[in-house]
């Protein structure tokens, strides 16, 4: 679905989403679980499409993925969280912002929007992110029936007009399932996006998933948080020297109201390092480690969302 997005050359400061009903009421997670939402950046030719035709209106679109290292169409989004959306701030501190709509980056006759597309599911798929597309449905419990109703995602974008005071940041999604391979001088990233935690057959209370990821281009760490699911213990980003750069921890709900649902991860902590205090070097190998309770879980995720800047205020 295309959404309205601020026009012009701007700096996006935050992008927040919530799940609501037709009256605008927040939907609690125990009624409808918000597994994941995406906002994907693309430019499409500014020409009318025949939406009644059996053609893909985005066939000629140029999709601009984030700067993360994952392969192909895996985790391409600029923004996207899940059940923790209500309780996780996306605000980028001043004077940093995500630059959008720079005329130099947009070919003549093209315009900027966002979109998400689905793909066929394997009949063996047990559940996870790929159940979330329009008109898709994963296997249900035998005899399960539920009432149908119309729900919507409500989003809020805050931005500033771009000027010389703004410092652009690059957005990365790093995945703890990334199976990094080297073929000659070429580095191959094989992100799985999600994984299954098997039945616990050990005394270890935690299940750990981690990946060592070479960063082609580094920068100053401005913002860091993790996207994970209920059962999460924490996620940590380590530098090449083994130092913890950020640990993102969950807040679990304790009540029944939307945003505080008992037993659900309703927020993840965010790291705001003092600008200039943490720098990831070009070519540095960072480690993303996600920890869950060692219990059976499908669709588990361990994504680290980071913003990096090439420079700091009052520097060139």
Mode of pairing for the β-strands spanning 232-238 and 285-293: antiparallel
pLDDT at 118: 45
Each residue's pLDDT tens digit, 13-45 = 999 999 999 999 999 999 988 888 888 887 765
**Which distant-in-sequence residues (6+ apart) come within 8 Å of 121 by Cβ?**
130, 131, 136, 138
Phi, psi of 242 (to 5 degrees): 90, -5
Each residue's pLDDT tens digit, 83-126 = 999 999 999 999 999 998 888 876 665 444 333 344 555 656 66
Under the banding of pLDDT at 50, 70 and 90, the label for residue 147 is confident
Among 308, 301, 307, CA closest to 81 = 301
CA distance 85 to 98: 19
- What is the pTM (predicted TM-score) of this model? 0.83
Each residue's pLDDT tens digit, 64-90 = 889 999 988 899 998 999 999 999 999
Question: CA distances (Å), 139 to each of 52, 97, 125, 128, in order?
Answer: 31, 41, 8, 11
| Average pLDDT taken over every residue of the chain | 86
């Amino acid at each position: 679905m295309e959404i309205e997005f601020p026009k012009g050359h701007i700096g996006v400061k935050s992008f927040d989403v919530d799940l609501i009903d037709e009256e605008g009421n927040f939907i609690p997670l125990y009624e409808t679980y918000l597994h994941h939402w995406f906002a994907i950046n693309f430019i499409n030719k500014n020409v009318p499409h025949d939406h009644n035709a059996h053609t893909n209106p985005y066939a000629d679109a140029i999709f601009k993925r984030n700067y993360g290292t994952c392969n192909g169409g895996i985790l391409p989004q600029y923004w996207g969280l899940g059940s923790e959306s209500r309780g996780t701030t996306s605000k980028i501190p001043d004077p940093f912002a995500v630059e959008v709509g720079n005329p130099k980056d947009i070919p003549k006759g093209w315009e900027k929007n966002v979109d998400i597309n689905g793909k066929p599911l394997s009949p063996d798929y047990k559940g996870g992110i790929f159940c979330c597309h329009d008109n898709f449905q994963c296997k249900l419990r035998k005899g399960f029936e539920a009432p149908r109703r119309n729900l919507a995602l409500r989003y809020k974008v805050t931005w500033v007009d771009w000027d010389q005071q703004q410092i652009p940041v690059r957005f990365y999604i790093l995945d703890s399932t990334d199976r990094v391979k080297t073929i000659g001088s070429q580095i191959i990233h094989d992100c799985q996006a999600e994984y299954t935690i098997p039945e616990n057959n050990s005394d270890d209370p935690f299940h750990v998933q981690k990946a060592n990821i070479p960063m082609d281009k580094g920068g100053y760490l401005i913002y860091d948080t993790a996207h994970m699911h209920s059962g999460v213990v924490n996620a940590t980003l380590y530098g090449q020297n083994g130092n913890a750069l950020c640990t993102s921890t969950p807040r679990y709900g304790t009540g029944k109201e939307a945003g505080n649902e008992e037993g659900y991860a309703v927020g993840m902590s965010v790291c705001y390092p003092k600008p200039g205090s943490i720098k990831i070097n070009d070519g540095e190998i960072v480690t993303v480690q996600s920890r869950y309770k060692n219990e059976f879980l499908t669709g588990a995720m361990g994504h680290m969302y980071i913003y990096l800047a090439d420079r700091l205020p009052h520097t060139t």
